[in-house]
Amino acid sequence: MATSISARGSDPGSATPDRPDRTPPGSSPRQAWRSRLYRWDTKGSPYVFVAPFFLVFAVFGLFPLLYTGWLSFHQVSLYNVDQSTWVGLKNYTDLFTGPASHFFWNALWNTITLGILSTVPQLMIAIGLAHLLNYQLRARSFFRTALLAPYATSVAAATLVFALIFSPESGMANWFLGLFGMDPVAWEAGSWTSQFAISVIVTWRWTGYNALIYLAAMQAVPGDLYEAAALDGANRWKQFLNVTVPALRPTILFTAVVSTIGATQLFGEPFLFGGQSGHQGGTANQYETLGVFMYDQGFRNSMLGRASAIAWTMFALLLLIGLVNALIARRLRKSQ
């Protein structure tokens, strides 16, 4: 490469006798400095440009991660983080088989059921909405913007409104059921009803976001595929099933993974939905997710060691999801 030759040649210290023509006398120190700068520039500046990200990541990402891992082997109170006692794997055994195990497995199960309850309908509605918006229709950009409005709403505001809707005494949901002569439901107290209510909040917030991703992917599907399908006599539903969905497979996988990760970390909706008992996911822990459980252990009961162990368990869970995703993606690529 030209750069390495010129760099070596212009270095006064290692100026080799076989290349005297590259360092003409008189201009050598200045040119050497300049080319050294140039060498630093080409080699160094990419690192300088990416450094801010990695510095920030090291401080706010990597360090907390490692520190949390270290804390998870200690009994440590929130009040005296400096004074910690090494307890080995006790925090983990407490979680899996010890005094906290009932609540841990309960939270893990709730995270899975809430995840399925919110992710599956969310993605199905999103893909349907995207399909509709993909057609020519009036005020299309209005609908596209409107789709994103729930996503822009804060979790707190949305959850408080939905908590009122699902209020047992005077809520809109029970009023609606009453129109059909049904008895009022204690939404928050029931195990499935509360999870349903929370998944409605999650679905409401994220459907539009996913619909826009699907819409973008749909617009990359060649139009002649649809024309060919139409010529073959396929109606819109058949077109959707046989053209749109196969073309969208990688996108669907992507949104499924992102939504799964989001569902694993679900915190704000159940926490705020429960009001006074939100910190433990309802009076009977009926919608306590792993995120809420971690908060409750760490910040209400000041057991930072156990909270760290939960954090690492969640991290391992996410790695597992990532792995499964990679395997499925590879399968998909091979099958195409």
Partner 1 sequence: MRTSRAARTTRSRRAALLVTTVLSATALLATGCSSSGSSSSSATADSNEKITLTVGDFGTFGYKEAGLFDAYTALHPNITVKENTTTQEADYWTAVQTHLAAGSGLDDVQALEVGRISLATSDALSGSFADLSKAPGVKKEDYLDWKWQQATSAGGKTVALGTDVGPMAVCYRQDLFAAAGLPSDPAAVSALWAGDWSKYVEAGKTFQAKAPKGTFFMDSATGLFNAVVSSDTQQYYKDGKLNYKDSASVKSAWDLAMAADASGSSQGLKEFDPTWQTAFSQSTFATTICPSWQQANIEKYAGPSNAGKWNVAQAPAAGNWGGSFLSVPSSGKHVAAAQDLVAWLTAPEQQAKVFQKVGNIPSNQKAYALAGVTDFKNPYIGPNAPTGQIFSTAAKAIKPAETGPKAGDLQSAFSNGILLVEQNGKAAGDAWAATVKQIDSTIQ
**What whole-number distance in Å separates Cα of residue 297 and Cα of residue 306?**
7
- Cβ(72)–Cβ(96) below 8 Å: no
Q: Which of 20, 61, 246, 275 binds partner 1 (CB under 8 A)?
A: 275
> Three-state SS string across 159-215, please?
HHHHHHHCCCCCCHHHHHHHHCCCCCCCCCCCHHHHHHHHHHHHHHHHHHHHHHHHH
- Under the binding rule (CB under 8 A), the answer on residue 70 touching partner 1 is no
| Footprint of partner 1 on 217-256 (CB under 8 A) | none
Looking at 16-24, 136-144, 182-190, 233-241, which segment touches partner 1 (CB under 8 A)?
Answer: 182-190
Tokens of 274: 């429960």
Q: Which of 205, 169, 202 is nearest to 187 (CA)?
A: 169
**What whole-number distance in Å separates Cα of residue 293 and Cα of residue 102?**
12
Tokens of 238: 């058949």
| Footprint of partner 1 on 5-34 (CB under 8 A) | 34
- Under the binding rule (CB under 8 A), the answer on residue 114 touching partner 1 is no
Q: Which of 12, 44, 178, 246 binds partner 1 (CB under 8 A)?
A: 44
**What whole-number distance in Å separates Cα of residue 213 and Cα of residue 194?**
29
Q: Which of 27, 80, 145, 154 binds partner 1 (CB under 8 A)?
A: 80
Looking at 60-68, 79-87, 215-223, 319-327, which segment touches partner 1 (CB under 8 A)?
Answer: 79-87
Cβ closest to partner 1, residue 77 vs residue 242: 77
Cβ closest to partner 1, residue 15 vs residue 284: 284
Cβ closest to partner 1, residue 2 vs residue 139: 2
- Under the binding rule (CB under 8 A), the answer on residue 81 touching partner 1 is yes
- Under the binding rule (CB under 8 A), the answer on residue 297 touching partner 1 is yes
Instruction: Output the smallest distance, CB 274 to partner 1, in A.
Output: 9
Q: Which of 152, 186, 324, 328 binds partner 1 (CB under 8 A)?
A: 186
DSSP-assigned states of every residue in 231-260: HTT--HHHHIIIIIHHHTHHHHHHHHHHHH
- Under the binding rule (CB under 8 A), the answer on residue 170 touching partner 1 is yes
DSSP-assigned states of every residue in 302-316: -BHHHHHHHHHHHHH
- Under the binding rule (CB under 8 A), the answer on residue 168 touching partner 1 is yes
Q: Which of 15, 23, 38, 267 binds partner 1 (CB under 8 A)?
A: 38
**What whole-number distance in Å separates Cα of residue 209 and Cα of residue 300?**
33
**Within 10 Å of residue 106's Cβ, how many Cβ atoms?**
17
Tokens of 225: 């595929």
Q: Which of 19, 102, 140, 330 binds partner 1 (CB under 8 A)?
A: 102
- Under the binding rule (CB under 8 A), the answer on residue 156 touching partner 1 is no
CA 184 from centroid of its chain's CA atoms: 36
**Residues making contact with partner 1 (CB under 8 A):** 1-3, 34-35, 37-38, 40-42, 44-45, 48, 75, 77-81, 99-100, 102-103, 163-164, 167-170, 186, 188-190, 275-277, 279-280, 283-284, 286, 297, 299-303
